Every structure is written in structure tokens, then in C-alpha cells.
Amino acid sequence: MSNHQDETRTAYDGVVGLYASMFTSQLETRPFSRNMIGTFAELVRGTGNLRVADVGCGPGHLTAMLHDLGLDAFGVDFSPAMVDHARRAQPALRFDEAPMEALPVEDGALGGVLAHYSVIHTPPEELPALLTEQVRVLAPEGLLLISFFGTEGPKPVRFDHKVAPAYSWPAEQFAELLAGAGLVTVARLLHDPASERGFLDTHFLACRP
């Protein structure tokens, strides 16, 4: 595991309670994100393969949302404290401790992968390999919904996230990364700035052919 992963994991281990209190009900006031996840779930159900991984699941609230939307959802996070919290908060659901770069899932097994702002701490040079891992676990016609902070500039921007250093991405450059990993983008949504920094909330829905 790289230094940035160690540092990020330790940082999230230290803020579990605060993070859960801030974000477990956040989608109640974020209709764009909420409806993108609903669309993702509907399309995954249409493939007939209901098995979905919520990668970087944190406290498990979105794993539970996917379950409520009719999917066989489980969560994966590399923070042991987050996984422990998720297991206690959602005892009926499965949560695994593992990095997104090495998912405990067989090849081509999943109908969908949700990565909700969970790739933002990955340095740009390491993101292609992470996306390749998400593709590995998707079945043909499987779907990836990935959300991140978007920037208008020509290059990824490193910034001081409140938990650990993070990156925002230009939408077109991110689309190229998805294509390079073997995915076809079927929808994208960029909307109002996510913070005082002016980054856009950005959501890409992509399919493995």
C-alpha cells in the first residue's frame, strides 16, 4: 500500500463519528446525486445482475440506499474503523475491508460499481489502474457510477480536502480515462459548485461493453 493510502486510511479512521454524522443524510438535500444513484440502480436492475459494490463505502449509508433500491449491494472500504461503523449501522449488509485497487471480487461478477467521491484522494498517475480494477469486476453491460469534484481547468487540481489531500478533475480528461479503461460513457452530469472552491459536482455513468 502506498504512502498516500496509508495516510488517507489513518485520516479517515480518525474521523468516523464526525464523518458519519455529516454525510449519512446528505443526499436528502442533494437531488442531483440522489437521482443519479436512482438511475444507476434502475439501469443495473435492467441488466438482471443485481450484485453491486459500493467502493469506498465509508459509513455504509449508500450501500443501504442501493439495497433499498432493490440491489444486492455490499460495501468495500480500506478504513477498518469505517467498515466497523458500517457493520454496526447496517448489520444486515456485507462490508469488506479492502482497497479499491484490489477488490475482493471475482472477475466479471458485478452488475454495477458505485464510486461516490471515493476516488478523489487517488493521485492522477494511479487513477488509471484503479479504474481498470473497477472494470475487471464488472460483467459485460455492467455499469459504473463514479462521482468526483470537477474543475474547469486543463489539468487535475490538488487541494486540501478536510480529511486528506484530494484532486479535482476536468470532465473531458476524466472521460478519456474511462475510455482508456475500456468503458463507454452513457451519461454525465455536472452541476453547481460543490464548495467555496468552485469545483463542480460531477457524475459519470459508464458501461462495460
Q: Kindly report the CATH number assigned to the domain that includes residue 203.
A: 3.40.50.150
Whether the CB-CB separation of 98 and 78 falls below 8 Å is answered with yes
Q: Are residues 59 and 7 in the same domain?
A: yes
User: What pLDDT does residue 195 have?
Assistant: 61
Please indicate, yes or no, whether residues 147 and 77 belong to a single structural domain of this protein. Answer: no
139-148: pLDDT as tens digits: 999 999 999 9
Same domain for 55 and 153? no
For 46, the grid coordinates are 435492467
Q: How many domains does the chain have?
A: 2
What is d(CA 39, CA 31) in angstroms, rounded to the nearest whole number?
12
Whole-number Å distance between alpha carbons of 191 and 39: 17
Rounded to an integer, the average pLDDT of 163-172 is 91
Query: What proportion of the chain, given as a percentage, has pLDDT over 90?
Result: 77
pLDDT tens for residues 105-136? 999 999 999 999 999 999 999 999 999 999 99
Please give the residue range of the domain that contains residue 163. Answer: 132-209
